[in-house]
Structure 1
Amino acid sequence: MLLSQELVLPSGLRLPNRMSKAAMAEGLAATTHDPNQKIRKAYREWAKGGWGMILTGNVQVSDDYLGAPQDIDVPAQNTDELQAAWREWATECQASGTPTIVQLNHPGRQSPAGAGKKSFFTKNLAPSPIGLNFGPGILAKVASKVLFGTPKEMTVQDIKLVIDQFVEGAKRSYDAGFKGVELHAAHGYLLAQFHSPATNRRTDEFGGSAHKRVEISLRIIRRIRAVTSPNFSISIKFNSADAATDKTEDVLEQIRLLVDAGIDFLEISGGTYENPLMMGDDGVAKQDMSEDKPMKASTIKRESFFLEFAQTVRKSFPGLVLMVTGGFRTRTGMEGALQSGACDIVGVGRPAAVYPDFPTKIILNENVKDEDANANLPRIEVEGAEKWIVKISGVTALGAGKTTRVYQEHIGSMAAIKA
């Protein structure tokens, strides 16, 4: 099956199979925001799982602005002790030979109050001063104002500083021994805010056209390449939801520019805090997965949230390595997505938190039949007072927050496993 086949990326990085442990918020760095012992222990478990590639959770490039209070960050001042912790993290991740990519991020306007060193009165950063819109209700508007506020429109100097921060994060990853970095330009974070006309209304060198909106990412990619090596993988996580607010041809133009800049692969995901599509639904429909009845194309699309957009990208960029993350739960669904040509790498999130050895134990295990090769995750229901708050406020992200907490608890359990 294609899932078990090796894939060589343009940089020369070799993936032993097509399954990638997707980026997930670990929620384990609340105090020091560095790759502490708990984080290293969790990644030690994933390292033993037989993944073709491991993507870390968000590493925030600014210690002033975090996406969550428990994120790892890249502080402005590095130390020998901190760099040693990063090297140990890279070693743990890759102990079994699985290449590991660090996901670098800046939350932009999606940095909640209390996350990072910024004061309560410091405004978040964004390409344009457009606040989050959780809905028309009063409670939704209050939540937006109190938790996030109206962001500050970034100056050109602010933008150059953020570019420097991404480059510094990549350099530290490279020096630590990681195999590459992925720029997070999805889920409504800062780079996605620049890419989208809904959140970028600038008219300078960083806005006003599809090309200029992606300029910040292009500069970051070129600068990272200059301080690392040709064999260091540079990829980007791209928000499929942008196609809903921009012309398809503009979205494809942005991807073309990213490809020309030299990305190794493009990961397709989607959603924002306003519309958390990436959270999806853990309910997996019963499917006939017998060998003589291959999964229908419609069923494959239903399992993967963003496969249809990936197929659109594939038509324009047949040689681009594509990774699709979101919704994959079964061997048949993953294999079907690869066989369709829509993607080359399957990103797996929640099942990896419950089963760190998901590839070797289930999906790539030849002793497990197709009909049994699935994650079989329970549906997570928002109940009680939390359900009432979501209903009254209309803020769907609050309900999605419970799902995040449940899977962070699973990751926390991994961190508690004795060596």
Structure 2
Amino acid sequence: MLLSEEIELPCGLRLPNRLCKAAMAENLAPGPDHKPNQKSVTAYGQWADGGWGMILTGNVQISDAHLGGPGDVAILSHASKDPSPETKEVWKTWAATCQRSGTPTIVQLFRQDNRASPVKLNFGAGILDKLAATLLFGTPREMTIEEISGEGGVVDQFVEAAKQSFEAGFKGIELHGAHGYLLAQFLSPLTNLRTDEFGGTPAKRAEIVLRVIRAVREATSKEFCIGIKMNSVDAASSESLDDVIAQIRLVAECGIDFIEISGGSYENPRMMVGDGTAAPPANVKKSTALRESFFLEFAQTVRKEFPQLVLMVTGGFRTRIGMEEALKSGGCDLIGIGRPATVKPKLPKEIILNTSEVPDERASVALVPYQAPWLVKKFPLKLVGTGAANMQWAGQITRMGDGLEPSASLLETTV
């Protein structure tokens, strides 16, 4: 079974199997220090013992001045170049806990910004949609070159966060270049209207990512894993497939260890569909394998261009059969599991890889469709609905951080 086979990444990191606990918003590390804490350690202890091939942490902000949520783990801006002994110790404890059973753990790094160019967020054509975009986010100011690549700028912030992860004992980092976050803003022609060294062509739009990869590699080790999450091209996107392939080629040539294929943004939240929040894309094939994965079709396109690239696909997988067939299709090498990991933190050990006790027809985890409250259903702003659905799964992680068993009420069927 391919799912249970070891895989070696280009940096030399060996993953014991192909199942990866995907990154999710956790909200476990409130301010003012935003350090991983006992709740982080307790939650990750459950995943650590679950038999995963790789664990991706929830997104870690490279600057506490740009938080995605009030409970993000974040690097303190005023102390990023010299973390305190206490900060170093809690990071080491977190890393050791994540990896106590031998599962390599990767820290996902990102920055919550919308400043590649002065482009407003677009939640829709409705009056409330436009009002929310204006009142909540306004029109962003375009980031200067100094803020990007100067001392203490974005590139430096990613490097310092990667160094802190490296020194703590984590096995690598993943750059979040999808879902409308800052790196995704630079990669996309919809949000990057620049005409300087960081915009104007697919290659220039990818320049910030390439600089981060090179700088992180130089500041850490050739054995330190560097991955990136990137958006797919789909029917809901006006981005050119050729442009995205060109950017992937540049990233691959820069020495990336794996690329995770995802999709969507907070304007078009395809990464949040499923489990009753929305229907899968209409152009996804109806076979079990491809129906389960939202982004596998694009990954197969990437595979044709880059046969040696290690690809991870996250989104929608629920059965052993679907996961195994996705690997057999050649579209991906690694399977990312998000929401099911919040209700079954030991999903690999107990179900998916447990072939001696769980036959294929029963090796699945189906989640109860999210039932939005009446007021949320009636609210015309679509972001409210997706945000409320996401909170349900964040609540599961909170339970794990409190040392409680995940709520079985969110499981529709399981073994």
Displacement of 1:191 in angstroms is: 0.3
CA contact (8 A) 2:233 2:240 kept: no
Q: Runs ≥4 in structure 1, deviation > 6 angstroms?
A: none
- After TM superposition, list the pairs within 5 Å mapping 1:63-78 onto structure 2: 63-76=64-77, 77=79, 78=83
CA contact (8 A) 1:275 1:396 kept: no
Displacement of 1:67 in angstroms is: 1.1
Displacement of 1:283 in angstroms is: 5.1
Match of 1:143 among 118, 132, 138: 132
Equivalent residue, structure 1, for 2:403: 417
Displacement of 1:297 in angstroms is: 6.8
Equivalent residue, structure 2, for 1:239: 231
Displacement of 1:401 in angstroms is: 1.0
1:57 equivalent to 2:58? Answer yes
Sequence identity percentage: 58
Equivalent residue, structure 2, for 1:276: 269
Match of 2:385 among 399, 408, 416: 399
1:156 equivalent to 2:145? Answer yes
Q: 1:229, 1:247 → 2: CA distance?
A: 34
Equivalent residue, structure 2, for 1:16: 16
Paired residue secondary structure (2:367): coil
Paired residue secondary structure (1:152): coil
Paired residue secondary structure (1:104): strand
How far does the alpha carbon of each residue in 1:160-216 deviate from its partner, in whole angstroms, 9 at most, with x for none? 201100000000000000000000000011100100000001000000000000000
Q: 1:44, 1:22 → 2: CA distance?
A: 15
Q: 2:397, 2:208 → 1: CA distance?
A: 33
Equivalent residue, structure 2, for 1:265: 258
Displacement of 1:408 in angstroms is: 1.0
Q: 1:82, 1:400 → 2: CA distance?
A: 34
1:348 equivalent to 2:340? Answer no
Q: 1:327, 1:41 → 2: CA distance?
A: 26
- After TM superposition, list the pairs within 5 Å mapping 1:19-418 onto structure 2: 19-31=19-31, 32-76=33-77, 77=79, 78-109=83-114, 126-160=115-149, 161-241=153-233, 244-282=237-275, 298-366=287-355, 367-389=357-379, 392=380, 395-417=381-403
Q: 2:96, 2:47 → 1: CA distance?
A: 12
Displacement of 1:298 in angstroms is: 3.1
Q: 1:242, 1:342 → 2: CA distance?
A: 16
Which residue identity does 2:7 align to in structure 1?
L
Structure 1: which 5+ runs fail to align? 110-125, 285-295
Q: 2:11, 2:312 → 1: CA distance?
A: 16
Q: Please tell me the root mean square deviation across aligned C-alpha atoms, in Å.
A: 1.5
Displacement of 1:397 in angstroms is: 2.1
Which residue identity does 1:59 align to in structure 2?
V
Equivalent residue, structure 2, for 1:293: none
CA contact (8 A) 2:233 2:298 kept: no
TM-score (norm. length: structure 1)? 0.90
Q: 2:193, 2:25 → 1: CA distance?
A: 30
CA contact (8 A) 2:231 2:262 kept: yes
Q: 2:183, 2:371 → 1: CA distance?
A: 32
Paired residue secondary structure (2:222): coil
Q: 2:363, 2:182 → 1: CA distance?
A: 37
How far does the alpha carbon of each residue in 1:94-134 deviate from its partner, in whole angstroms, 9 at most, with x for none? 0000000000001112xxxxxxxxxxxxxxxx110001111
Bigger Cα displacement from structure 2, 296-305 vs 60-69: 296-305
Paired residue secondary structure (2:313): strand
CA contact (8 A) 1:328 1:348 kept: yes
Equivalent residue, structure 1, for 2:412: none
Displacement of 1:417 in angstroms is: 1.6
CA contact (8 A) 2:233 2:239 kept: no
CA contact (8 A) 2:109 2:176 kept: yes
Paired residue secondary structure (2:59): strand
Displacement of 1:246 in angstroms is: 2.3
Which residue identity does 1:102 align to in structure 2?
V
Bigger Cα displacement from structure 2, 65-74 vs 309-318: 65-74
Displacement of 1:418 in angstroms is: 7.1
Structure 2: which 5+ runs fail to align? 278-284, 406-415
Aligned length: 388
Q: 2:162, 2:100 → 1: CA distance?
A: 21
